[in-house]
Amino acid sequence: MPKGIWQYTARRAIHAFAVIVGVLVITFVVSHVIPGKPAALWVGAHPTAEQIQRATEELGFNKPLYEQFYIYVTNLLRGDLGVSIRTHDTVLSDVARGLTSTLELIIAAFVIAIGAGIVVGVFSASKRDHVPDHFGRLAAIFSVSMPPFWLAMIFQIVFSQTLHWFPLAGRMSTDVSILYPLKSITGFNLIDSLLTLNFVAFQDSLWHLVLPALALAAYPFGLTVRMVRTMMIEVLQENYTRSALAWGLPGRLILMKYALKNAVSSTIIALGMSFAYTLTGAFLDELIFVWPGLGTYTALSILSLDYPAIMGAVIIVAIFYVVINLLVDILQAFLDPRVTL
Amino acid sequence: MIQESSESDAGKRQRFREIRVFLRLTLENSLSTVGLAIIVLFIIIAITAPFIVPYPKQAEGTPEIANQLLPPNWQHLFGTDELGRDLFSRVVFGARISLVTSASVVASAIALGLPLGALAGYYGERIGAIIMRVTDMFLAFPPLLLALAVAATLGGSLINAVLALIITWWPWYTRLAYGQAVTTRNLPYVDSARAIGVGNFRIIVRHILPATLAPILVQATLDLGSAIISVAGLSFLGLGAQPPTPDWGLMVNTGRTYFLQHWWYATFPGLAILILVLGFNLLGDAIREAVDPKLSRRRLI
């Protein structure tokens, strides 16, 4: 156990808490202070004068700003994010429903990105400046340059419409969900279907997951390749690698046993860096694959000007993101003691 | 009497050498040459757009209903859209919008973030702490997310999308400039300048800001690419350009309704985004590798 890790964890946790307060201040400024017609935004597309009047009073837009902020924060602490104009359900329950399905997608994308990213990155570094390296780097740079929504559409045309390998959209086929209904335990389809030994549903869910997860994996894949490659190249120049080589250890052993260990921490950094991007990338990806998650919810809210839903989703995703960052930092401190110094 | 040399001649020569090495390494690397060529090509296309496209009127939105959704052919290289407009002309015009919007986002973010970061890093103490805490708050958001909220509040238009992105982008430059300023603050040449009574403002402008230039340049090149994707993403959600603007993101969005039967509609504008962003990333990556001393050592295995 590295020394000082608990102090570090505590310090990071306090910092994360301060940042969440900051997040609330910024979202408050965006939704209450930016000039415009905040009350009109809260009631929807074609507000009547009465509706605006009522919203102004309910949300306290006629009160002084500090009082508005107090109302805003107390509402949030009670979990009251308002009611969605589009679904007529509370924003909190809407968002909670979408969250696990989005997580399933993001985790699947990360598994693909990490696996493929480490393999390509290590291979690229070991053949530095030769043909395989050029291909590896090109693949990495292509995948970070890809507009995520466009890649998703191209996948649909090629792998679904033309080749019929994978379903076009959705999370499960209608016939499967009727004939082999899935009992929701964790909210993750793949886990639930395994727990209930519902293999038809498992296969169907997995098949639906492939294309959206692949499309979403592009960016973290590119970043992982780049980070792992850079790290490997550095390690391969270190003195201890040179000594190992001088001792006559085979190159592959050095690569796998000594160098790859160092790739772990760079992979974690790459994931931390790409998490934000993947999270918002999931918004567009889900919309295109009609994946019933937080992203589709937010995107549809934006398209229908459902303001309470937009702001609610933004706040929850931002807080979620701060917490994930905190966890990544702590995890990294455990793996690499130099961080806490 | 001791004179303040203008950013010390040695420093200036040093910077000159840096820039030369930059250029040489950049041009030696074939991938970065490709990147640079792509960017230059798109800039030329953007400037000459009205003269090179076959249907400039349609590019700006005039419909031609008789030619709805034609597949690519010799009259319409990229096919036509649901209003019969020539997609090739519209994609070419889109280069103007993408380049201008992404350049405005990045330039404004630098104009806002760089001085703040330099200020915070130079003074440290309380001013620095306040600026950096505010910066931290903004950096706590996933980048596109805050832009979504701001753009949704302001209402969908290209200008608002650019504004929203500037609001979310400046803190990255503040942090970058802050780091550079902190390391430069106590270097001998800055200390000497202070010792002979050069004012703080002058020190920041003449000595601190130039030192932040190289990393900012790398970051800006890469960010131009990300800004293009972000603007397109906002347009894709209806929070950016509005019809009939020939914006790439908007075209992909409209094309979504038709693309399973008419593949060309969304494919070509998306391809344009990919290629231009690729250009910026190739160039930015090569420059970064050129300036990173850790990577330029000789290799063994």
- What does the alpha-carbon distance between residue B96 and residue B100 come to, in Å, rounded to a whole number? 6
Q: Compute the count of residue pairs across chains A and B with CB atoms less than 8 Å apart.
A: 166
Identity of the highest mean pLDDT range in A243-247, B22-26, B158-162: B158-162
Q: Which residues contact B233 (CB under 8 A, 6 or more apart)?
A: A147, A148, A149, A280, A284, B144, B249
Closest by CA to A85, choosing from A332, A314, A302, is A302
Where are chain A's structural domains? 1-86+306-341, 91-303
- What does the alpha-carbon distance between residue A262 and residue A326 come to, in Å, rounded to a whole number? 22
Quote the minimal CA–CA distance from A4 to chain B in Å: 24
Cβ contact, residue pair A126, B256, below 8 Å: no
The answer, yes or no, to whether residue B8 has pLDDT greater than 60, is: no
The answer, yes or no, to whether residue B2 has pLDDT greater than 70, is: no
pLDDT in tens, chain A (341 residues): 556 778 888 888 888 888 888 888 888 888 777 655 666 666 666 777 777 777 777 666 677 777 778 888 888 888 788 777 777 788 888 888 888 889 889 999 999 998 899 889 888 888 877 888 888 888 999 999 999 889 999 999 899 888 888 888 778 777 777 777 777 777 787 777 777 877 788 888 888 899 999 999 999 999 889 888 888 887 777 777 777 777 877 777 777 777 677 777 777 777 777 787 888 888 888 988 988 888 888 888 887 778 888 888 888 888 888 888 888 788 877 776 665 55
Which among A22, A23, A236 has CB closest to B301?
A236
| Closest A-chain CA to B150 | A30
Per mean pLDDT, which range of A34-43, B57-66, B229-238 is the poorest?
A34-43
pLDDT of residue A23: 84
Residue B4 contacts residue B207 (beta carbons within 8 Å): no
pLDDT grade for B227, boundaries at 50, 70 and 90: very high
Give the CATH fold of the B19-300 domain: MetI-like fold (1.10.3720)
Residues pairing with B272 in the sheet: none
Share of chain B above pLDDT 70, in %: 86
pLDDT of residue B43: 94
pLDDT of residue A206: 86
Q: Is B74 helix (H, G, I), strand (E, B) or coil?
A: coil
Q: How many CA atoms lie within 13 A of B111 on its CB side?
A: 8
Q: What is the DSSP string of B232-258?
A: HHHHHTTSS--TTS--HHHHHHHHTTT
The answer, yes or no, to whether residue B245 has pLDDT greater than 60, is: yes
Quote the minimal CA–CA distance from B66 to chain A in Å: 26
Kindly tell me the burial class for residue A261, based on how many C-beta atoms sit within 10 Å of its own C-beta (0-12, 13-18, 19 or more).
Answer: exposed
pLDDT grade for B1, boundaries at 50, 70 and 90: very low
| Closest A-chain CA to B136 | A19
> What tokens were used for B113?
């973030």
Distances (CA, A) of B110 to A241, B116, B262: 41, 10, 41
Which among A141, A145, A318 has CB closest to B145?
A318
pLDDT grade for B11, boundaries at 50, 70 and 90: low
3-state SS string for B112-160: HHHHHHHHHHHHCHHHHHHHHHHHHHHHCCCHHHHHHHHHHHHCCCHHH
pLDDT of residue B18: 65
Question: How does the average pLDDT of chain B come out, rounded?
Answer: 82
Burial A215-229 (b: 16+ CB within 10 A, else e): bbbbbbbbbbbbbbb
| Closest A-chain CA to B132 | A19
Quote the minimal CA–CA distance from A182 to chain B in Å: 30
Measure the CA dihedral A295/A72/A82/B164, to 10°: -40
Quote the minimal CA–CA distance from B203 to chain A in Å: 32
Cβ contact, residue pair A237, B298, below 8 Å: yes
- What does the alpha-carbon distance between residue A327 and residue A129 come to, in Å, rounded to a whole number? 36
| Chain B neighbors of A161, CB-CB under 8 A | 260
Query: pLDDT tens digits, residue range B84-143?
Result: 788 888 999 999 999 999 999 999 999 999 999 988 888 877 888 888 888 888 888 877
pLDDT grade for B294, boundaries at 50, 70 and 90: low
H helices of A127-173, where?
A: 131-145, 148-155
pLDDT of residue B301: 34
ipTM > 0.90, yes or no? no
| Closest B-chain CA to A32 | B153
Share of chain B above pLDDT 90, in %: 21
Q: How far does CA A238 lie from the centroid of its chain?
A: 35
Cβ contact, residue pair B301, A255, below 8 Å: yes
> What tokens were used for B192?
């000497």
pLDDT grade for B21, boundaries at 50, 70 and 90: low
pLDDT grade for B300, boundaries at 50, 70 and 90: very low
- What does the alpha-carbon distance between residue A150 and residue A10 come to, in Å, rounded to a whole number? 42
Tell me which amino acid residue A88 is.
Answer: H
CATH class held by domain A91-303: mainly alpha
Closest by CA to A297, choosing from A308, A313, A274, is A313
- What does the alpha-carbon distance between residue B150 and residue A280 come to, in Å, rounded to a whole number? 15
